[in-house]
Amino acid sequence: MQTIILKSDKLVAEIKAELKQAVTRLAAKGLVPRMCAIAASADPAIASYIKSKQELAESLGVVFDLINLDTQVSQEELESKISQASADSSIHGIILEMPLASHLNANRALEKINPKKDIDGLTFTNLGLVLSGHEDEAILAATPRACIILAESQSELDGKNVVVVGRGRTVGRPLVPQLLNRHATVRVCHTHTKDIKEVMKKADVVIIAIGHAKYFDDSYFSEGQIVIDVGINSTAEGLVGDVDAEKVAGKVAALTPVPGGVGALTSALIFKNLIKAIKLQNL
């Protein structure tokens, strides 16, 4: 079987074209979109995330502010910076770069973001709206949305068995309600799941986000599956996913590459969320 590599470049180009038009329309009204990224982490992948967003912002004509805090910053100082950005009417979108330094509480920090400026869709308000089936009123979590778009490029999710591997705050947990809203049958695997290989093999679609380089080889998959690899791991050979792509190729029907898959699309969707945030703020 020849595995389809689900590159996101064409999707990203389409979204960028839409975004440029949206930014032009806003500029004609005297409004220049402005977003603020806040980081407090020693994770080497964070620099890659920030760089891609900075470059995209520049190409779109969006003002990009970066608050890069020391990794030893206190919870109080982090929350203060977020609160200041939320209260600044000239800032239309805020993203807290994850993961944070280990001593920081992400939930407390995220709740300092005005939900209408939460362009990563991770505040309790936006997650709750999605969970209750009100996606139109919410800003959707960007990485889960990217996973769904790439999976749906191969097959509708309605009625499909989808296994999510990983229950993290930024991918696994916010992904589940988005999948349910598309009528998928969802099972979540984590460190306490028994017979995880057998569970994964029974899925039509497998979405993986555990942050462990090349952890999953071909023994975890069945022929014909769609595999969405969310992992971005910095190694001596460069950025790699959670799936060992070389070993899986030829067995699964489709697989997202790392880089060039979920991550690139997520960055574009964050800017799409920025435009929605501006609308929600009635600007």
167 marked as binding residue? yes
166 marked as binding residue? yes
168 marked as binding residue? yes
Helix (H, G, I), strand (E, B) or coil at 227: strand
121 marked as binding residue? no
Q: Please enumerate, by residue number, every residue annotated as part of a binding site for NADP(+).
A: 166-168, 232
Annotated binding site: 166-168, 232
